A and B are shown apart, each in its own frame.
Chain A
Amino acid sequence: MQFMLLFSRQGKLRLQKWYVPLSDKEKKKITRELVQTVLARKPKMCSFLEWRDLKIVYKRYASLYFCCAIEDQDNELITLEIIHRYVELLDKYFGSVCELDIIFNFEKAYFILDEFLLGGEAQETSKKNVLKAIEQADLLQEVSHVG
Chain B
Amino acid sequence: MSDVVEKTLTALPSLLSLDSQPGSAKLSSTSKLGNLIRGITELTSKHEEEKLIQRELTSIKDQVSSPNTSMRQMKELMVRAIYCEMLGYEASFSYIHAIKLAQQGSVLDKRVGYLAVSLFLNESHELLLLLVNTVLKDLQSTNLIEVCMALTVVSQMFPKDMIPAILPLVEDKLNHPKEIIRRKAVLALYKFYLIAPNQVQHIHNKFRKALCDKDPGVMTASLHIYLQLIKENSEGYKDLTASFVTILKQVVGGKLPMDFNYHSVPAPWLQIQLLRILSLLGKNDQSTSEIMYEVLDESLRRAEMNHNITYAILYECVKCIYTIQPKSELLEKAAKCIGNFVLSPKINLKYLGLKALTYVVQQDPKLALQHQMTIIECLDHPDLIIKRETLELLFRITNGQNVTVIVEKMLDFLRISKDDYTTIDLVGKVAELAEKYAPDNEWFIETMNTVFSLGGDMMQPDIPNSFLKLLSEGFDSDEEDRKLRLFAVDSYVSLLQSEPNKLPQRFLQVISWVLGEYSHLSAELEPATVMTLLSKLLDLKHTSSETKSWVLMAMTKLCEGGVAISVAQDIYETHSSSMDTVLRQRAQELQHLSQDSELRGRVLPRDAGLMPLEVDSSLSFLDGFVSEALAAGAAPYKPPHQRQEELAQAKALSLEPYSLSLPISMSSCSIADRQSPTLMSMSSGLSGDSTDLSHKGGSTTLKLDGVKRVWGREGYLAQREPVEETAQVEVPSPLRSPSQQAEADSTQSQTPTPTVTPELEQDKQQLASSLFVGLGSQSSVCLMGKSDPTPQRFRRKAQGRASSSGASEKTPTSLGSTPSPVDNLLCNSLLDSNLVSEPTNQTPQASQSLDTTNGNCHEELTDVKENNPSLIHNNEEPDKPKDLCLSSHLPTELSGLSHSEITPLCSNQSVNLSACHVQKEDSLQLVIFIFNSSDSALQQMQLQVDSGELKLSLITDSPVEEVRSHSVAVCHYSVTVKRPSVHVEVLGMLSYQLPGGTPQTIQFSHKLPLTTFIRPLTLSTEEYGSMWLAFSQDTKQNLTLINDDQDPLTTTLNVLKKKLQLHVVEIIGVEGIVACQLVQDQPCLMHCRVHAGTLAVWLRSPVPDLPDCLLYHCQRALQEH
Which A residues fall within an 8 A CB radius of B? Answer: 13-19, 21-22, 24, 28, 44-53, 61-63, 73, 75-78, 80-81, 84-85, 87-88, 91, 94-101, 103-108, 110-111, 114, 118-119, 121-126, 128-129, 133, 136-137, 140-141, 144-145
Contacts and interface: CB of A to CB of B under 8 A. Distances in A.
A101 B267 CA distance: 29
A62 B11 CA distance: 12
Interface in B604-628: none
Contact of A140 (B10, B15, B108): B108
Contact of A126 (B34, B260, B350): B260
B1117 interface: no
B122 A22 contact: yes
A81 B263 CA distance: 10
B262 A91 contact: no
B385 A77 contact: no
A46 B385 contact: yes
B687 to A, nearest CB: 30
A50 B422 contact: yes
Contacts, number: 196
A88 B4 CA distance: 10
Nearest to A145: B108
B604 to A, nearest CB: 42
B22 to A, nearest CB: 8
Given A62-B6, A78-B269, A122-B269, A104 B108 contact: no
Contacts of B862: none
A88 B10 CA distance: 21
B152 A21 contact: no
Interface string B175-190: 0000010011001001
B106 A13 contact: no
A49 B347 CA distance: 12
A42 B145 CA distance: 44
Interface in B468-516: none
A140 to B, nearest CB: 6
A61 B6 contact: yes
A75 B155 CA distance: 22
A7 to B, nearest CB: 10
Given A111-B111, A118-B155, A96 B5 contact: yes
Contacts of B184: 118, 123
A48 B348 contact: yes
23 contacts: A28-B88, A45-B382, A46-B350, A61-B2, A61-B6, A63-B8, A75-B315, A76-B351, A77-B312, A78-B312, A78-B316, A81-B262, A81-B309, A88-B1, A91-B4, A96-B23, A101-B23, A104-B24, A105-B26, A119-B155, A124-B183, A140-B108, A141-B107
A47 B259 contact: no
Given A53-B421, A85-B262, A104-B37, A63 B28 contact: no
Main secondary structure of the interface of B (DSSP, over half): helix
B388 interface: yes
A9 to B, nearest CB: 9
Interface in B370-416: 382-383, 385-386, 388
Contacts of B190: 119, 121
Query: Interface centre among B37, B157, B190, B385, by most A CB within 10 Å?
Result: B385
A63 B37 contact: no
A45 B347 contact: yes
Contact of B180 (A15, A80, A119, A133): A133
Given A48-B385, A104-B29, A125-B267, 20 more contacts: A18-B122, A45-B383, A46-B385, A61-B2, A62-B5, A63-B10, A76-B352, A78-B316, A81-B312, A87-B2, A91-B1, A96-B23, A105-B26, A111-B111, A118-B156, A123-B183, A124-B217, A125-B262, A133-B148, A140-B145
Given A24-B90, A145-B108, A78 B272 contact: yes
Q: When A and B form their complex, which 5 residue pairs have the shortest distance between CB atoms, in order from nearest?
A: A77-B312, A21-B122, A141-B108, A126-B259, A78-B312
Contact of B348 (A77, A85, A105, A124): A77
B115 interface: yes
A101 B21 CA distance: 11
Nearest to A147: B106
Given A87-B5, A110-B115, A100 B83 contact: no
B262 A137 contact: no
Contacts of B710: none
Interface in B502-551: none
A132 to B, nearest CB: 9
A46 B259 contact: no
B247 to A, nearest CB: 16
A46 B381 CA distance: 11
Interface centre among B8, B25, B86, B260 (most CB of A within 10 A): B86
B10 to A, nearest CB: 7
A79 B118 CA distance: 22
Contact of A129 (B115, B157, B259, B386): B259
Nearest to A12: B87
Contacts of A77: 308-309, 311-312, 315, 348, 352
B7 A96 contact: yes
Contacts of B1008: none
B890 interface: no
B9 interface: yes
B28 A104 contact: yes
B191 interface: yes
Nearest to B279: A73
B5 A81 contact: no
A104 B268 contact: no
Contacts of A119: 155-156, 187, 190-191
A51 B221 CA distance: 28
B108 to A, nearest CB: 4
A98 B106 CA distance: 30
Contacts of B180: 124, 129, 133
B753 to A, nearest CB: 22
